[in-house]
Amino acid sequence: MNIEQIYTGCLAQGAYYITSNGEAAIIDPLREIQPYINRIEKDHVKLKFVFETHFHADFVSGHIDLSKKTGAPIVYGPTANPEFDAIIATDNQEFQIGNIKIRVLHTPGHTVESSCYLLIDEQGKETALFSGDTLFLGDVGRPDLAQKAASMTQEELAGMLYTSIYTKILPLADDITVYPAHGAGSACGKNMMKETIDSLGNQKRMNYALNQPNKEAFITAVLDGLLPPPAYFGMNVAMNKKGYKSFDEVMKKGFVALDAIEFESLADTTDALILDTRSADVFAKGFIPSSVNIGIKGDFAPWVGALIGDVEQNILLVCEDGMEEESITRLARVGFDNVLGYLKGGVKTWIDANKEIDTVNRITAKQFEAEFKPKESVVFDIRKESEYTAEHIDEAYNKPLSFINEWINNIDTDQHFYIHCQGGYRSMIGASILQARGIRNFSEVEGGFKEIANTSIPKTDFVCQSKMMSV
């Protein structure tokens, strides 16, 4: 028997590849399935089942394509109602893979169909729990995502989650290994550990949600501090439940090289968003006007989902050479299937065609220090509230990037302001969105708070409620 976690950092997502005696199972696969098929062929095993823990909200799974190409049936837990062929398992039903078994544990709460998969090894020992979004390391799945579909309140779903965890998971042995669907950085939870594998016994000791005195306390603790889910979550759920275009089709449509004239024509005649996936440092020096910068070398897909929102949005790509296919792949992972093509040769092609170039007014932390005037300078700290609370510039306003589409409408376009994040990745995203909306009366601070911390600009860790962003 072999268990392999296939972890994708930019999504903080774990898929699982399990083999035993010539047979294999895959749990919660990513959208692009060729790497799984290559691995199956290399290992000379037959894919017997594709297990899905639930209808995912934060990414589009590869279950449908993988099933079509391999013939392996898709398995969901009880109450799932996908609009494609699948095995809807009963609670405690077991599936044989080689010399091992996988038992279905129906654990509703995160969603009503959420299920965990308990692996029973060759000796009949309960060995591993693939816990999906029911149990994370340090946290549990948020119970507010499926309210509308389930016709239930988040409190009712949280109560259901309590029952699932306390009756189905906590009675299991401490030495069972927990393999969750997500880790730190995912919007599916609020308190996840950076580790991606742990023992159930350790989770019983340190996970706050597993140490509540009663159901009411659990509901309060789990719901406390939840931020609104990203706009694209519901659309991804629909794709995972109803079906989607094959990944091959999406790649064929998007992987089209365009010259400057073709690119400009498409930008003018369609509603396409120009998405520049280069690094913030490179983008700041020159880009196509109205481009939005979300760097591929970062939390690219989640930010695309959170800020663009509508998965039906047409997209034109500007990338570093060789990163076009990767950009299309990462967009498809979160359901953005309408890439119309990419600018062949990148921004150099645009410049060589004598097309207009825009820049961002990016200043260093030292320049910021020289310009900063206490009580006068307006500073937008676009980090998360928790980062802001830990330490921030005196009198800075906390306006998290996640909510830019809300606070951007209240900006005074006659008053200069500064924006910064922690290291520069998010502030360049924000700067590009501001300029795409016609707002230019600002300076973006290179290196963010990491560099500002080394200046003499006054800072505080006291939460000034009047300056906090209210959403």
Domains (range + CATH), the chain: 2-234 (3.60.15.10), 246-352 (3.40.250.10), 362-467 (3.40.250.10)
Say if residues 218 and 158 touch (Cβ distance below 8 Å): yes
Predicted pLDDT of residue 185: 85
Taking alpha carbons only, the member of 195, 250, 252 closest to residue 14 is: 195
Predicted pLDDT of residue 462: 54
Taking alpha carbons only, the member of 11, 126, 18 closest to residue 72 is: 18
Length of the chain (residues): 471
Say if residues 88 and 80 touch (Cβ distance below 8 Å): yes
* Cα R_g (the chain), whole angstroms: 24
Helices (H), 334-413: 347-352, 365-371, 385-390, 404-407
Say if residues 181 and 128 touch (Cβ distance below 8 Å): no
Predicted pLDDT of residue 191: 83
Per-residue exposure over 176-196, b if at least 16 CB sit within 10 Å of its own CB, e if not:
bebbbbbbbbbbbbbbbbeeb
Say if residues 449 and 365 touch (Cβ distance below 8 Å): no
By 3-state DSSP, what share of the chain in percent is helix, strand and coil, each rounded to 5? 35, 20, 45
Q: Is beta strand 198-199 parallel, antiparallel or unpaired with respect to 177-180?
A: antiparallel
Which segments in the chain show pLDDT lower than 70?
462-471
Predicted pLDDT of residue 10: 85
Q: Largest Cα–Cα distance of the chain, in whole Å?
A: 72
